[in-house]
Amino acid sequence: MKNDATIHIGVIGVGHLGNFHLKQFSKISEISLCGLYDINEIRAKEMSELYNIPYFTNLQKLLKKSDAVSIVTPTFSHYEVAEKALNEDCHIFIEKPITDDLYHASKLLKKANNNNKIIQVGHIEQFNPAFIALKKIKNYPRFIESHRLAPFNIRGNDVPVILDLMIHDIDIILSIIKSKIINIRANGVRVTSDTIDIANSRIEFENGCIANLTASRISQKEMRKMRLFEKKSYITLDFMKETLEEYKVCSKKPIDSSNNQIIEIGNEQKKYVLYNKPSIKKHNALKEELKHFVHSIKSSTIPITNGNNAINALRVALKIQSIIDK
């Protein structure tokens, strides 16, 4: 560390989401918030007073004080800011997507590897309590359907909805399906912005699994759901409510069904549907995500949402975007 055993962390970009980063970092005991930076000096001063930490009018000075930084700036600036941070020997947490193109994302990853620095990318759903519960269940889905819908918001419109919202589900699906993608189909429409506002894609994997993804930022209601279908089993995840529901079909009534609701179907050849909604311990996903970043630095381990995985998600997202733009 630059001065002592404490990890000194700076936050770059303290708008709507950056404020949440400051709030959660302030609750993590192993670190010290050494300062913040924003191109909007009025906003920087406001957040400085709120969290009682210094703000810097010069980014380079903050980087020199920091062991690690959280980059919460618009996507187009990710590469420039992250490169400067790596040049000053900082570990970096960078909000998704890692960058807006593969060339710069690969350059950042190579530089971080050469400097022995960690890149963690803000694919926050990996830390959602519902998804953590799913990882405890053995599942081999043949079909996945996801819907990520949001009302119109001026924030995030600098990138297409694929990079803004759908990339969350792309990242989740790539972590579930360990198989090569063999085909992608996609369609989308620009409605309120200059970039794609609503998109649908169908991703086909070599193992036979198909994922159907829909993302919209012009919906009347908010939704973040994913459904996984496999032979004699169906699981539904609600990322907003942080819940998981599981349905299993079996030909024999289970002896021990104390934790399940059983639905009897059929007449002559009876089958049983076991419904289970496990109790999930709730937590703040952003706090857990940032704690994981700190742990990865302290233990010199690769984060779950590392640069390689982020680039894989970005590659698929950009392919979907290019298909729509044709």
Asked if the structure places residue 1 within a domain, the reply is no
Same domain for 106 and 158, yes or no, is no
Same domain for 135 and 211, yes or no, is yes
* Euclidean distance between CA atoms 172 and 237, whole angstroms: 12
Asked if the structure places residue 201 within a domain, the reply is yes
CATH (domain of 221)? 3.30.360.10
Same domain for 138 and 121, yes or no, is no
Same domain for 116 and 152, yes or no, is no
Same domain for 150 and 81, yes or no, is no
Residue 210 CA, distance from chain mean position? 21
Contacts of 15 (CB under 8 A, 6+ apart): 38, 40, 43, 72, 155
Same domain for 176 and 76, yes or no, is no
Asked if the structure places residue 181 within a domain, the reply is yes
Q: Is the CB of residue 44 less than 8 Å from the CB of residue 37? A: yes
Same domain for 28 and 172, yes or no, is no
Asked if the structure places residue 204 within a domain, the reply is yes
Taking only the tens of pLDDT, the chain with its 326 residues reads 554 578 999 999 999 999 999 999 999 988 999 999 999 999 999 999 999 999 999 999 999 999 999 999 999 999 999 999 999 999 999 999 999 999 999 999 999 999 999 999 999 999 999 999 999 988 889 999 999 999 877 665 678 999 999 999 999 999 999 999 999 999 999 998 888 999 999 999 999 999 999 999 999 899 999 999 998 899 999 999 999 999 988 776 665 555 555 555 555 566 777 888 999 999 999 999 999 999 999 999 999 999 999 999 999 999 999 999 98
Same domain for 265 and 137, yes or no, is yes
pTM of the model: 0.92
Asked if the structure places residue 312 within a domain, the reply is no
* Domain total of the chain: 2
Asked if the structure places residue 2 within a domain, the reply is no
Q: Which two tokens stand for residue 236?
A: 């539904």
Same domain for 150 and 34, yes or no, is no
User: Domain range for residue 268?
Assistant: 129-283+317-325
Sort strands 68-71 and 91-95 into parallel, antiparallel or unpaired.
parallel
CATH (domain of 119)? 3.40.50.720
Same domain for 133 and 265, yes or no, is yes
Same domain for 89 and 192, yes or no, is no
3 state SS of 31: strand
Asked if the structure places residue 139 within a domain, the reply is yes
Number of residues that make up the chain: 326
- The beta-carbon contacts of 302-306 under 8 Å, at least 24 apart in sequence, are 302/118, 303/118, 303/119, 303/120, 304/126, 304/127, 305/120, 305/121, 305/122, 305/123, 305/126, 305/171, 306/118, 306/119, 306/120, 306/121
What DSSP designation does 164 have? I
Asked if the structure places residue 230 within a domain, the reply is yes
Residue 68, CA distances (Å) to 25, 36, 123, 149, 151 in order: 12, 12, 18, 33, 34
Same domain for 35 and 110, yes or no, is yes
